[in-house]
Amino acid sequence: MTPAELLSRLTVPAVASPMFLVSGPDLVVEACRGGVLGAFPALNQRTSEGVDAWLSEIEERLEAARRAGEAPAPYAVNLIVHGSNQRIDRDLEIVAAHKVLVVITSLGIRPDVIETVQGYGGLVFHDVIQTRHARKAAAAGVDGLIAVCAGAGGHAGLLNPFAFVDEIRSFYEGLIILAGAISDGRHVAAARLMGADLAYMGTRFIATEESLADPAYKQMILEAGAADIVYTPEISGVAANFLKESLARNGLDGSGAPPETLDFGEREAKAWRDVWSAGHGVAGVRDVPTTAALCARLAAEYAGAAERLGFRAAA
Ligand SMILES: Cc1cc2nc3c(=O)[nH]c(=O)nc-3n(C[C@H](O)[C@H](O)[C@H](O)COP(=O)(O)O)c2cc1C
């Protein structure tokens, strides 16, 4: 699949981005049926065999949608390419066996991962928060760079999106996927206007019926504004954005010492289960719709914005 073919299969040029302990098959399938690229982190399953089972389930459900005359978008799996992720090799084998069309890599570049995915015809997107990392990933031949900018949920960067997209474009011809507080279809259109090919939306999709987040987590997002988000390395060792209220409920304020090492085993799972992450985009999240309703709304807002601004809405 080429990047152009991928874009042509989306109704909205957006990704429902992979979120630890939040994204599962229901969210992925409904996003794809809504014309948005759905995604989940492999680590959301406790074992590689569990990932295999989720992939089979997602494919069966998307195939059923196709038989019913729908044209669902492709989906993606996120692999954490970090030394502490002991499952990466087995997870990659499973992803390759299923020929997952898009693989999103985080926290490290491994040429063999890129080769494997591109070898079966898939695309690799890699997320970056700094130009130095973007250059390294571009040199390694990834198909898309995810520019994770200031205010994004999860492990966010600090760069301004206008500056970061332009800087990446100065040396990179592949897809640019913009992340950070993108909450509605107007924002998706804005991302396109400023030079990105796709929008990457996390926080907005936490507050959907299909997300695996605790109902109290969704409610906290509805009540929060941008000032209620704290950027801190205290929870996982790498700076990330968390809900101030959730930190407080755990007796924290974000000023404590971070763990010395990153650990994508049990510790990280406990940390993210107890302390809830979200980005500045909480300010624009005011309801908990079904993923189908959210995707339909995104499509209408995106098409409306494109028409007003005079550009073609098709991805
Ligand atoms: C709760 C939560 C968990 C996340 N987990 C992951 C993850 O496991 N892998 C990953 O690549 N990104 C992860 N992210 C980052 C998102 O994929 C995405 O970059 C970010 O949410 C985009 O910014 P936004 O939340 O402002 O839309 C996570 C984000 C949140 C909010």
Q: What is the pLDDT along the chain (315 residues), one digit of tens a residue?
A: 899 999 999 999 999 999 999 999 999 999 999 999 999 999 999 999 999 999 999 999 999 999 999 999 999 999 999 888 889 999 999 999 999 999 999 999 999 999 999 999 999 999 999 999 999 999 999 999 999 999 999 999 999 999 999 999 999 999 999 999 999 999 999 999 999 999 999 999 999 999 999 999 999 999 999 999 999 999 988 999 999 999 999 999 999 988 877 777 777 888 899 999 999 999 999 999 999 999 999 999 999 999 998 877 665
How far apart are the C-alpha atoms of 10 and 198, rounded to whole Å? 10
Establish whether residue 184 lines the binding site of ligand 1, counting it when its CB lies within 6 angstroms of any ligand atom: no
pLDDT of residue 314: 61
CA of 238 to the centre of ligand 1 (A): 13
Closest ligand 1 atom to residue 127 Cα is: 11
CA of 18 to the centre of ligand 1 (A): 6
**For a pocket test of ligand 1, which of 15, 20, 232, 268 has the largest count of ligand atoms closer than 8 A to its C-beta?**
20
Closest ligand 1 atom to residue 18 Cα is: 17
Establish whether residue 242 lines the binding site of ligand 1, counting it when its CB lies within 6 angstroms of any ligand atom: no
> Pairing between strand 198-201 and 175-179?
parallel
Q: Is residue 61 within 8 Å of residue 38, measured between CB atoms?
A: no
pLDDT of residue 43: 95
Establish whether residue 11 lines the binding site of ligand 1, counting it when its CB lies within 6 angstroms of any ligand atom: no
CA of 284 to the centre of ligand 1 (A): 16
**For a pocket test of ligand 1, which of 17, 23, 146, 214 has the largest count of ligand atoms closer than 8 A to its C-beta?**
17
pLDDT of residue 312: 72
pLDDT of residue 18: 98
Tell if the pTM clears 0.85, that is, is over it.
yes
Q: Where exactly does CATH 3.20.20.70 map onto the chain? A: 3-213+284-309
Q: Is residue 195 within 8 Å of residue 166, measured between CB atoms?
A: yes
The CATH homologous superfamily to which domain 3-213+284-309 belongs is: Aldolase class I (3.20.20.70)
CA of 310 to the centre of ligand 1 (A): 31
Q: Which segments of the chain does DSSP mark as H helices, in order? A: 3-8, 25-33, 48-67, 88-97, 111-119, 131-140, 161-169, 185-193, 203-206, 215-223, 244-249, 266-274, 291-309
pLDDT of residue 315: 52
How far apart are the C-alpha atoms of 132 and 96, rounded to whole Å? 29
CA of 88 to the centre of ligand 1 (A): 19
| Beta-carbon-side half-sphere exposure of residue 184 (alpha carbons within 13 Å) | 14
pLDDT of residue 142: 98
